[in-house]
A and B are shown apart, each in its own frame.
Chain A
Amino acid sequence: MERITIDPVTRLEGHGKIEIFLDPDGEVANAYFQIPELRGFERFCVGRPVEEMPTLTNRICGVCPEAHHMASAKAADAVYHVDPPRAAKLLRELLYSAFYVTDHTTHFYALGGPDFIVGPDAPPAERNILGVLAKVGMEVGGQVIRARKQGHNVIEMIGGRKIHPATAVPGGMTHGITEEQRAEIEKIGRWSIEFAQFSLGIFDKVVLGNDAYKEMILSDGYTHRTYYMGLVDQNNQTNFYDGRISIVSPDGERVGTYAPAEYRDWIAEHVEPWTYLKFPYLKKVGWKGFVDGADSGVYCATPLSRLNVAEGMATPLAQAAYERFYDTLAPTPESGGKRLVHHRLATHWARLIELLYAAERMVELATDPEITSPNIRTVPTEKPTEGVGTVEAPRGTLTHHYWTDERGVLTAVNLLVGTTNNYAPMALSIKKAAQSLIHKGVVVHQGLLNRVEMAFRLYDPCFGCATHSFPGEMPLQVAIRKSDGEVLEILSQNC
């Protein structure tokens, strides 16, 4: 068996390494994604007071500290058996919506966008935000920076700090917002709605208006029929901050919804000998290997998954965009009755619909009469025990689970981070893209390899939670080896 190694992967944090194994005929036999994992987090946390966790866990990763802060605060609420006042929940969700606007904006323009807007075959040096702006206009760069700046300002207003918020505590929030701040946030939210619509317009024109890209989105190489996971509210509509976790089968059947605290009844983890990462799967379906279909417990937790599990979006403009998404890509319901999009590259489109939802939700929350209420904390009085907190991180369902002694000192910690949910689907996507693009006799060129990378980049994977390294401007090196390890050829970019 021959082996192709892509190491490290461009624009991914951490030493992600793709291994593509070829059979003797030069066809792709298997593809694996190897990721080093950080160690010792539980040991690091045990013995600390649980109320430290919302500020400690947002140091796990520089990419989504807001998600860890919120999941942790919710888990700490549960540990103390306390339900925060409504105004505190509104403030948390408002901060979180602003975070989504900044995060999804950055992904589309700096990461996902280059693949489509600049093109999968463009030289690597052009596949970045500057390449995107060269196509759509440099003035858009100012809008991207403005979206990020305003989002960070909202995070600072509510969370106390621009990057690592610190105000969510067990039972609520440490401080609220003034009327002046509320008005400013409302203004930012309204601007963000326009920006999200503008971004969807770019996607419409540049991606959907290009037959070759549309064909790529719909191609079998980027399509998987897996289970889907995501948080939904009481109306089965997408919610990032709170709700029940919903699971939908590849055939469009709602398998069930469960409370975050029940996650261990639904999720189990598979171990492979070639990596120390664990691959979560649906316990009730079972692990059948790296395969899709209704018999395989592999599930996906992404923007696309969140739309697939929902009956719709809770805000009007996002709902209209949702309808158009399904009318375009999945006009016919699955046998289970639900319309599903299985085309993984459509995740980029789904992410922009979520951007619009987050912006609309900002305005809804900022105009709620209770948002400036001073009643933002219920002081915990009960004996702390155990608690689970879940939010939708931009890159997947994020769960924190804490156990404490009677003093509130941590005795055990378990985290199921967003990207981890998608380890198995990413392996599937890499394999399938490779199978459709690498055949005996075909020269492995850079555009082709980038298409393989596109297969997992759409998941917006973050290994900051699970790994860390010194990537700098990452080179891409591809070693093609025989099964005995002998290097046949080395290709590289950015080296």
Chain B
Amino acid sequence: MADQIASRTSSDGVSSGSPRPRTIVVGLGNPVLGDDGVGWRVADEVELRLSDAREAGREIPAVVVERLGVGGLQLMEFLTGYEEAILVDAVDFPGRPLGEVRVCSLDELDPYAAGHLDSAHDASLRTALALGHRLGARLPDRIQTVTVQAIRTDEFSEDLSPEIEAAVPAAATAVFELILG
């Protein structure tokens, strides 16, 4: 069954002939919905830092960086074939300061504050992952989340709130550290 689940190809930013990356970084969110776009912005920043580090001669593991606005089954399908995944998303934890960056595993993440891990037209990511495992898909052994406490996610805009904008470097650093292990 595993072959029926979408697998990534060299078109995802990995040059043909290179070893297949073990890790995928996914910036989740909607880039035109204010602070909801923070996952994408962090993904941009991570990509930039990866490029800079490689140009500076550092040995950086091969990583695929994606920007998605999906959850559930579709996100599970995107994660298939990787050993590690890092999900970056906006969250709404009650009472937390705006722009706060938190790192934890998917299992530790409060399910009620998670961003795009569920959908009206899909299963939750946890259910989707359970389905993928039962169907024999190769899914990441480790799924980490980097979250940014956000607020303005109900108004169309390509801009982040100042507090969220200021959190992008810290979130990118957190992702970078996870990539380096």
Show the binding face of A for B, using Cβ within 8 Å: 11-14, 36-41, 43-44, 56, 59-60, 62-63, 103, 106-107, 110-111, 128-130, 133, 138-139, 141-142, 145-146, 148-149, 152, 162-164, 460-464, 467-475, 494-495
Contacts and interface: CB of A to CB of B under 8 A. Distances in A.
Given A40-B155, A163-B74, A472-B112, A141 B120 contact: no
A212 to B, nearest CB: 26
B127 A128 contact: yes
27 contacts: A13-B119, A14-B120, A38-B155, A39-B154, A41-B156, A43-B156, A44-B156, A63-B119, A106-B73, A110-B121, A110-B123, A128-B123, A129-B128, A130-B127, A133-B131, A139-B1, A141-B135, A142-B135, A145-B73, A148-B77, A163-B69, A164-B69, A464-B120, A470-B113, A472-B111, A472-B124, A473-B124
Nearest to A163: B70
Given A130-B123, A468-B154, 12 more contacts: A11-B120, A41-B156, A44-B157, A129-B131, A141-B134, A149-B4, A152-B6, A461-B120, A467-B154, A468-B30, A470-B91, A471-B118
Nearest to B116: A62
Contact of B120 (A139, A152, A462): A462
A40 B30 CA distance: 15
Interface size class of B (residues with CB under 8 A): 35 or more
State the main secondary structure of chain A at its contact with B: loop
A472 B115 CA distance: 6
B31 interface: yes
Nearest to A147: B4
Contacts of A471: 112, 114, 118
B122 interface: yes
Contacts of A63: 119-121
Contacts of A474: 112, 118
A59 B31 contact: yes
Residue from A12, A13, A471 with most neighbouring chain B CB atoms (10 Å):
A471
B113 A472 contact: yes
Nearest to A139: B1
The 8 closest A-B pairs by CB, nearest first: A472-B114, A13-B120, A44-B156, A62-B69, A473-B111, A142-B1, A470-B92, A146-B4
Contacts of A111: 120-121
B77 A149 contact: yes
B121 A106 contact: yes
B161 interface: no
B119 A145 contact: no
B36 interface: yes
B155 A138 contact: no
Contacts of B118: 11, 13, 471-474
Contact of A129 (B31, B116, B117, B123): B123
A38 B1 CA distance: 39
Contacts of B55: none
Residue from B69, B113, B121 with most neighbouring chain A CB atoms (10 Å):
B121
Nearest to B117: A472
A339 to B, nearest CB: 30
A461 B120 CA distance: 8
A468 B153 contact: yes
Contacts of A145: 1, 4-5, 73, 77, 131, 135
B14 interface: no
B92 to A, nearest CB: 4
Interface in B43-78: 68-74, 77
Contacts of A40: 155-157
A461 B121 CA distance: 9
A471 B115 CA distance: 6
B33 interface: yes
A398 to B, nearest CB: 15
Contact of B154 (A38, A141, A461, A495): A38
Contacts of A43: 156
Contacts of B121: 13, 63, 103, 106-107, 110-111, 460, 462
Contacts of B153: 468-470
Contacts of A470: 90-92, 113-115, 153
Contacts of A138: 134-135
B114 A473 contact: yes
Interface string B7-33: 000000000000000000000001111
